[in-house]
Chains A and B, each alone.
Chain A
Amino acid sequence: MTSAHAESVNGSLPHEPEKATLEGRNKVLGFWLFLGGESVLFGTLFATFLALRNQTNDGPTAHELFSLPTTAAATLILLVSSLTSVFAVQAMHRHKAAALRLWLIITVILGLGFLGLEVYEFHEYVTAEKFGMTTSAFSSAFYTLVGFHGAHVAFGVCWIGILIGQLYKKGLTVVTAPKVYVSAMYWHFIDVVWVFIFSVVYLLGKVG
């Protein structure tokens, strides 16, 4: 703990700055645990969705609704953003603060692109297809599951955006490094969740 100040002051960063202090290591561990809880959260939402996906109540069905090209594009964008956040962490490990910021900025832009597509998709469903939260049990389950994920992406975008600002102001230190690392973990997690959404909601909806 005392070493935290020493290192940030004299500027010699260790190879993995996120694990240099006890606070940093605790943060990473705590975040792994948090993601464990998040997995149960999404697991329950997926289970709910699977239980209700055919309950369309005369409203649109998954097959009528989904367009795979749009969601495939969204998937691609989000997967690439995961890659760019890997590059960000690698840049951090090489202590390249400028490259780190650049990769984070690209990640945020991709995240915004994903969100844009999702908002557009939801908007289409509600206006053109008359498919809202109250239409059917299927629609409620769809909006809740996909919306929860979207809210996570939105939170991640804001969070990483704020971290970029902090990196400009405070630089890469043993205090900022764990934050970057943990946000990257978060970002990968919501990416993995999306892969499941793409398969279980969209692909299964189209073919199953």
Chain B
Amino acid sequence: MAHAHSVKRHTGLMDWLTTVDHKKIAILYLLAGGLFFGFGGVEALLIRLQLIKPMNDLVSAQTFNELITMHGTTMIFLGVMPVIFALMNAVIPLQIGARDVAFPFVNALGFWTFLFGGILLNLSWIMGGAPDAGWTAYTPLSTSTYSTTHGVDFYTVGLQIAGLGTLIGGINFLATIITMRAPGMSFMRMPMFTWTSFITSAMILFAFPAITVGLVLLSFDRILGANFFEVSNGGNPVLWQHIFWIFGHPEVYILILPAFGVISEVIPTFARKRLFGYSSMVFATILIAFLGFMVWAHHMFTTGLGPIANALFSIATMLIAVPTGIKIFNWLFTMWGGQIRFTSANLFAIGFVPTFVMGGVTGVMLASAPADYQFHDTYFVVAHFHYVIVGGLVFGLFAGLHYWWPKMFGRVLNETIGKWTFWFFAIGFHLTFFVQHFLGLMGMQRRIFTYLPNQDFDTLNLVSTVGAFLMAVGVLLFLFNCFMTAAKPKGVANDPWEDGRTLEWAIPSPPPEYNFKQIPLVRGLDAYWKEKMAGNKEMTPAEPLGSIHMPSPTILPFVMSVGIFIAGLGLMFSSEKFNNSFMSMIFNNWIVVIIGLVITFGSMLLRSLFDDHGWHIEPEELEEEGVKA
């Protein structure tokens, strides 16, 4: 075909800025997520150092507030979300037997908007102070009356931009899983990780627009002088709590469901058994997502919604324990009687189960409204959500990274270091957060920058800080492992764990640009395992060898995100008093905002006007590569 090779292929940095390949976008998400995770981790260590002893003055109260706000916000929105997206990008198209995602361009756009939103948020540290109203940014604390720096503006605008990226990423994965599955891969033959990512994407779609609106309202109050949360002019601060948690509670399930998926892949592989109760797993996932939208007010038991509302939300919350329990038992029964191999990935997966159960138990305790009057805003809550987020999600992410690393990079992570990572991280984790349950029960509030001696808080806080540093050692070991492995030569087998069950293990590691030379025919759940059991070495192709159509690389997603970034900065400083007249001119007349929007919408226009015909990989080239491999 005439235009087959007319497309420009970039190399080096340009390749990464213009890529629309889901495998490369996965690596970008991993790098960016890892970077923000590092920021959040340093913030956590500073928090713990401040609390190591009573009446400590390592950081000021104001800095402490900024640290806890940025730690929570960064970890949730910029740390774990992108690592989840990294795994989804790296694995889902392979698991469903697809050559790409449904919208490669949108996929790249999602990454770049997320990144620039995250950068904007973190610029606050060097541009006049970080947000300080907690990651929940409760009004009226976060309104301009009480939060007078630009910190909260960085929060609203930065999260708005990053949230946009997450939203379009969610839409992309929904469409991909609905339309791009290989022949024979019915919904009930989809691997569990694909299922949970599918449900997570659906939750993103219905939860993120709520926070979009919430952030718009808060920024209108702060920047345009609107009155949504301004009591003196008729506003209502509780409205923010509702909007935030209508998003916020689904968000915590958005985070944990992909981890459930990872665990459901890793445990069967290393137990050499199919997942116990596959259909009940699917059903439980859907039920959790559904219930997850009905329980937001359990964060507001002490706000004063009244006994009826509290009772209903209390019961609804406790109901979630049922589908979650189903999952726990399914994992246990999968391991039961299996030939378990304790690889690093599996250590994290097995470690996940009891840790997550502990977080679930405290969750049910918190769901009891009368008891929550005692627990609320104490370290008991901090212990709870770290058990589910770190002991649950982060364990799951480590399991997934160790498991799919060879597929993503063509090299297996060092198993010995992997195991050390696990033990440092797991022991450090329990040291840090187990004692916080008791600190909370004894009355230590969260979000306080210091405490008086001799309230029985001293020793437990010291233990907690020591634990945090052990976790940090675990993370550093993991980083060291990544660099060390990167220095090793590539070249692992298609199926390095030898017991891979799903389609991604049927193709080379890392996969070629087009993933599957021929789209495979799926003949059952655990498609690859099924072929192995039938004595086949490879998947049966569902199509003859033919020319493969690929989307062209493009810089537009990057440029669009730069535009949004500029517009966001312009909006934040639109009513700022500058000493410099040029700055006042361009900011106060909204010129910066307009420039940013012109860049973004202009790129959108270019995208619409010039069709992307893509390019083709011809069968001859495929054959050549086959010979090389």
Binds A, one of B152-160, B213-221, B483-491, B583-591: B213-221
Cβ–Cβ < 8 Å partners of A56 in chain B: 234
Cβ–Cβ < 8 Å partners of B288 in chain A: none
Of the candidates B172, B209, B224, B230, the one whose C-beta lies within 8 Å of that of A40 is B209
What sequence of 0s and 1s flags, for each residue 79-94 of chain A, a beta carbon within 8 Å of any chain B beta carbon? 0000000000000000
CA distance A5 to B549 in the complex (A): 11
Number of A residues near B (Cβ < 8 Å) is: 39
Secondary structure type dominating chain A contacts: helix
Evaluate whether A140 and B102 lie within 8 angstroms (CB atoms) in the complex, with A2-B549, A41-B209, A179-B608 already known.
Answer: no
Are B228 and A52 in contact, CB atoms less than 8 angstroms apart? Answer: yes
Instruction: Decide yes or no whether A29 CB sits under 8 A from chain B.
Output: yes
Are B224 and A133 in contact, CB atoms less than 8 angstroms apart? Answer: yes
Cβ–Cβ < 8 Å partners of A141 in chain B: 228
Cβ–Cβ < 8 Å partners of A37 in chain B: 167, 171, 205-206, 208-209
Chain B residues 230 to 256 lying within 8 A of chain A, measured CB to CB, are 230, 233-236, 239, 243, 246
Evaluate whether A44 and B547 lie within 8 angstroms (CB atoms) in the complex, with A141-B228, A175-B611 already known.
Answer: no
CA distance A45 to B226 in the complex (A): 14
Instruction: Decide yes or no whether B361 CB sits under 8 A from chain A.
Output: no
Instruction: Decide yes or no whether A67 CB sits under 8 A from chain B.
Output: no
CA distance A162 to B606 in the complex (A): 11
Instruction: Decide yes or no whether B178 CB sits under 8 A from chain A.
Output: yes
Cβ–Cβ < 8 Å partners of B220 in chain A: 133, 140, 144
Cβ–Cβ < 8 Å partners of A40 in chain B: 205-207, 209-210
Instruction: Decide yes or no whether B353 CB sits under 8 A from chain A.
Output: no
What distance in Å separates the Cβ of B530 from its nearest Cβ neighbour in chain A?
A: 27
Are B239 and A48 in contact, CB atoms less than 8 angstroms apart? Answer: yes
Chain B residues 582 to 612 lying within 8 A of chain A, measured CB to CB, are 605, 608-609, 611
CA distance A135 to B232 in the complex (A): 11
CA distance A136 to B221 in the complex (A): 11
Of the candidates B175, B236, B547, B616, the one whose C-beta lies within 8 Å of that of A52 is B236
Are B172 and A30 in contact, CB atoms less than 8 angstroms apart? Answer: yes
Are B608 and A52 in contact, CB atoms less than 8 angstroms apart? Answer: no
Chain B residues 85 to 109 lying within 8 A of chain A, measured CB to CB, are 102-103, 106
Are B611 and A55 in contact, CB atoms less than 8 angstroms apart? Answer: no
Instruction: Decide yes or no whether A204 CB sits under 8 A from chain B.
Output: no
CA distance A162 to B205 in the complex (A): 28
Give the interface centre of A44, A45, A51, A143 by most chain B CB atoms within 10 Å.
A44
Of the candidates B227, B234, B608, B614, the one whose C-beta lies within 8 Å of that of A166 is B608
Are A44 and B226 in contact, CB atoms less than 8 angstroms apart? Answer: no
Evaluate whether A134 and B224 lie within 8 angstroms (CB atoms) in the complex, with A2-B547, A25-B179, A57-B234 already known.
Answer: yes
Residues of A participating in the B interface, judged by any CB pair closer than 8 Å: 1-2, 5, 22, 25-26, 29-30, 33-34, 36-38, 40-41, 44-45, 48, 51-52, 55-57, 133-141, 143-144, 162, 166, 170, 175, 179
The 10 A-B pairs with the shortest beta carbon distances in the complex, nearest first, are A55-B234, A137-B234, A140-B226, A41-B209, A40-B209, A44-B213, A1-B549, A57-B234, A134-B225, A137-B235
A to B CB contacts below 8 Å, 28 in the list: A1-B549, A2-B616, A5-B1, A26-B179, A29-B102, A29-B175, A34-B171, A40-B207, A40-B209, A44-B213, A51-B239, A52-B228, A52-B236, A55-B227, A55-B233, A55-B234, A57-B234, A133-B224, A135-B227, A136-B233, A137-B233, A137-B235, A137-B236, A140-B220, A140-B221, A140-B228, A162-B605, A179-B608
